[in-house]
Amino acid sequence: MDGQSEDPIQIESTDLRFPEYLGQEITTAVEALLFASPDPLTESQLARLVGRDKRHIPLIIDKLNLSYLEWGRSFRIERYGDTYRLYTLPEYDKYISRLIDLPRPARLSRAALEVLAIVAYRQPVIKSEIEKIRGIDSDGVIRTLLERGFLAVCGKSDAPGRPLLYKTTQEFLEFFGISDLSQLPEVAVPEAEIPRTIALVRPPEEPDSADEAE
């Protein structure tokens, strides 16, 4: 859906000749397919996917483009060779180009994932409990996760010295693509083994060169 420098396409109203049997569902299905497909789609492909004659596809495309024009949408469907694709209007290029400047979320190291797994399943939890399970000092990792907003202090324990209690945050949920902690995978192993047996997996993303958390 990259912006194009071409002149706006000409749209001819098809309201009077649009077959009723195509229906709104078929029309929106064509739209959904073009949104979802990473590549342009041919008339034959679209027709096969929605179960209609390919001669109907241009009518559907025209109707969609007319509705986009009437609603003031920022995109259109264009014919590209023998295929169709969605594209954004040139006047929005200046905004779309700003996407390049957005920072990509940093990847997390194995140590960071271990700490997050322990906290996620046992929260609220104190640092000494995290370190007992990991078998290694975790000051640096916890500090980094606090700075990046994946962990937060949620009070103090009643244990001697009143150590801080840690919990995961909304940022943690968003990073791993879940809405709440109930969506974490079930663990049928001793809790002490959580960091080595549970995989906190983030939704796939494009490779980048971002630094890992400590």
State whether 133 and 81 are in the same domain: no
C-alpha distances (whole Å) from 27 to each of 13, 17, 44 are: 15, 14, 15
State whether 22 and 78 are in the same domain: yes
**Domain annotation covers residue 40:** yes
State whether 114 and 193 are in the same domain: yes
pLDDT value for 7: 46
pLDDT value for 201: 54
State whether 91 and 122 are in the same domain: no
State whether 144 and 78 are in the same domain: no
State whether 70 and 114 are in the same domain: no
State whether 45 and 119 are in the same domain: no
Domain count, the chain: 2
pTM, 2 dp = 0.47
Query: Chain-wide mean pLDDT for the chain?
Result: 80
State whether 77 and 123 are in the same domain: no
State whether 35 and 65 are in the same domain: yes
pLDDT value for 21: 56
DSSP-assigned letter for residue 6: S
Q: Which of 99, 118, 141 is the last residue of a domain?
A: 99
State whether 83 and 30 are in the same domain: yes
**Domain annotation covers residue 5:** no
In this predicted model, what pLDDT tens digit does every residue of 115-152 receive, in sequence order?
A: 999 999 999 999 999 999 998 999 999 999 999 999 99
**Domain annotation covers residue 105:** no
CA-wise closest residue to 116 among 55, 178, 163, 71: 178
**Domain annotation covers residue 24:** yes
**Domain annotation covers residue 186:** yes
C-alpha distances (whole Å) from 9 to each of 31, 90, 172 are: 17, 12, 44
Residue 129 DSSP SS3: helix
Q: Which domain holds residue 165?
A: 110-197
State whether 72 and 141 are in the same domain: no
**Domain annotation covers residue 4:** no
CA–CA separation, 191 and 14 (whole Å): 63
**Domain annotation covers residue 2:** no
Residue ranges of alpha helices (H) inside 20-176 are: 23-36, 43-50, 57-71, 93-96, 110-122, 127-134, 139-147, 170-175
Residue 11 DSSP SS3: coil
CA-wise closest residue to 134 among 186, 213, 187, 194: 194
C-beta neighbour count of 200 within 10 angstroms: 18
Across residues 18-40, what is the average pLDDT? 83
In this predicted model, what pLDDT tens digit does every residue of 172-209 receive, in sequence order?
A: 988 888 888 888 877 644 455 554 445 465 554 544 44
Q: Which of 99, 125, 145 is the last residue of a domain?
A: 99
Token representation of residue 159:
């244990």
CA–CA separation, 169 and 152 (whole Å): 6
CATH number at residue 27: 1.10.10.10
State whether 57 and 131 are in the same domain: no
**Domain annotation covers residue 212:** no
